[in-house]
Structure formats: C-alpha cells, structure tokens
Amino acid sequence: MEKIVVALGGNALQEAGQPATAESQLKVVKKTSKYISNLIEDGYKIIIAHGNGPQVGRIVLQNEAADNITPAMPFDVCGAMSQGMIGYHIQQALGEELKAKGNNKSVVTLVTQVVVDKNDSAFDNPTKPIGPFYTKEEADRIKEEKGYDIVEDSGRGYRRVVPSPDPKRIVELEAVKNLVDAGFVVITVGGGGVPVVENENGELEGVAAVIDKDLASERLAEDLDADTLLILTAVEKVSLNFGKPNQKDIDKMTVEEAKQYIEEGHFAPGSMLPKVKAAIRFAESKEGRKAIIASLDKARKALKGESGTVITK
C-alpha cells in the first residue's frame, strides 16, 4: 500500500472572504474531507499534516485581548491549541465522511512537538506569516502599538511574521508510526508542530515560533519512509512567472531544475517557495521518492499523474 503524507494548505481549512468562525472553518473542512476520503478509498495509506497560520494568529489575538481578565498563554501553547482545534475539525469531518462511505477507519489527532535548533538563524529573521491580513494603515498602527514584525505578504496584504526555524526531530514519531501501522488515519505535525528546543538537561521547552508546515510535512514523510509527499494548495500547478502574462505552468521538474527556478526568484517566499523547498528535500532524500504539488480539488488526479507538478530526483 502506497504511503502518502498529505500537507493541507490554508484553503483546505478556511475560505477567503468568509468569517473566521469555527462554523465557517468546519464547513470548509467538510469539503476538504471529501477529497481526502477519496484517496483513502483508492487504497492509499494517508497521513495528514496541515498549517495553522491564520488560526494561531487569531488565538494569540484573543489571548492578548483578554489579558486583563485571564493571563495570556505563551505562543507555543497557542500553537498547541490550534493543533487541537484544527485536528478536531478534520477528524470529525473526515470520520463522518468515511463512515458515510461504509469505511470504519478511525481518524485521530496527535498533538505533536517538533524539535528545532535554539541557535537557528530564523530566530533573528522572522519570516512566517500568521494571523489575518491588514491594510498598510492597520499594519503601521499595530507595529507601533505592539512592536510586531509585519511585512507585505505576496501582494495579498500585510501580516505579522514570526520566526520559522527548521524542523529537526518529531518528538512523538514512534507514536505516529504505531498509529499508522495499526490502521489509523493520523493527523500530526499540525501547524508544523509545536516548536520546542532541548535545554542543557535534555528537557524540552516551547519557543515562540511557527515551523513551516510544508517543511515539517517533509520531515514527517522522510521519517515515516513515505512514498509520496502530496502538498495540496489553491493552485493546480507550480508556475514560472506566476500571475504575469507569460506565466508557464510546470507538469514535471527535477530537483536541479527546481533549484534553478528558486535561484531565478520564481517562487514567492510566503507561498510557493517553502512548498518547492520541501518537495526538493523529499525527492532527493531517497531514490524513488517523489513530491507532488497540486490543488486540493484535483488531489485524486494528481496521484494518477493527470494534474499537479511532480518533483523527482
């Protein structure tokens, strides 16, 4: 049975222009679950990862807004909260979808810690967007009031950015392996995992950061010896000159071609770049592995080679 790590993008959890409510998120997740259940029905062994940028940002805002009533939780705890919330929605919706199809597979969410290097240079250069989009005026005001790092995000508006260190080790990996081997559909490394560092005593301590979910998904795929890393997003294929009159969609590319395109600056840092970097890492990690970047609604076709962009060594 082919083992596939599926990395869900933001469009799989939240619809642009819709209210950021639990009800709205669950509605979108129910649609997403139909696509994922199709892959399970096709006989693939599926492990699910997902982002949490907007959600963890809003949880932080909620904590800060209520600080005069109850103590605000630290950033790593907010990350764990987002894992539980999003995982709950996915496991409920996907479980119901499988049940409706007569499939008795159980779906489980595992709150996952991911070790990062406390000396990672990312802590000196915040790049990971979280929370809602702001206008230029809103961004300037919030930056002045709260001291946040805020940047323009791929032409979509302004967002707060936090450090995004590289994932080194998944703490609960053995538990994930055991659950997968036992036949569970596992939701793990949600939001890239809760970032932790090891202190001088070897104990784990949470840090204020968000690990990129695509890179965490790649780490997971390697460690589980998956056959394919399937990165699902809002566009059907990776493109050169994206959004320009000379845009060119790519069906297949080698690791070397992908690296060349990165050097030429084709991929936006806040969106496609981490996906392509994750795809490169996985494809070159072991002979025969491949990564696919595709749209959520064409996931099934992408695994059949009929859609998406395939990255191989």
CA atoms within 13 A of residue 300's CA, in its CB half-sphere: 13
4 touches 227 (CB < 8 A): yes
- Could you confirm whether 57 is annotated as catalytic? no
Give backbone dihedrals phi and psi of 291, rounded to 5 degrees, phi first. -120, 145
| Neighbour count for residue 183 (Cβ, 10 Å) | 10
Name the catalytic one among 45, 213, 237, 277. 213
Q: SS3 for 82-145, per residue? A: HHHHHHHHHHHHHHHHHHHCCCCCCEEECCCEEECCCCCHHHHCCCEEEEEEECHHHHHHHHHH
Name the catalytic one among 9, 11, 52, 131. 11
CA distance 77 to 120: 21
- Could you confirm whether 119 is annotated as catalytic? no
Report the Cα–Cα distance between both ends of the chain, in Å, rounded: 22
- Could you confirm whether 213 is annotated as catalytic? yes
220 touches 5 (CB < 8 A): yes
Closest CA to 229 of 149, 156, 283, 301: 283
Name the catalytic one among 57, 95, 128, 192. 128
- Could you confirm whether 275 is annotated as catalytic? yes
Catalytic residue numbers, as ranges: 10-11, 128, 213, 275
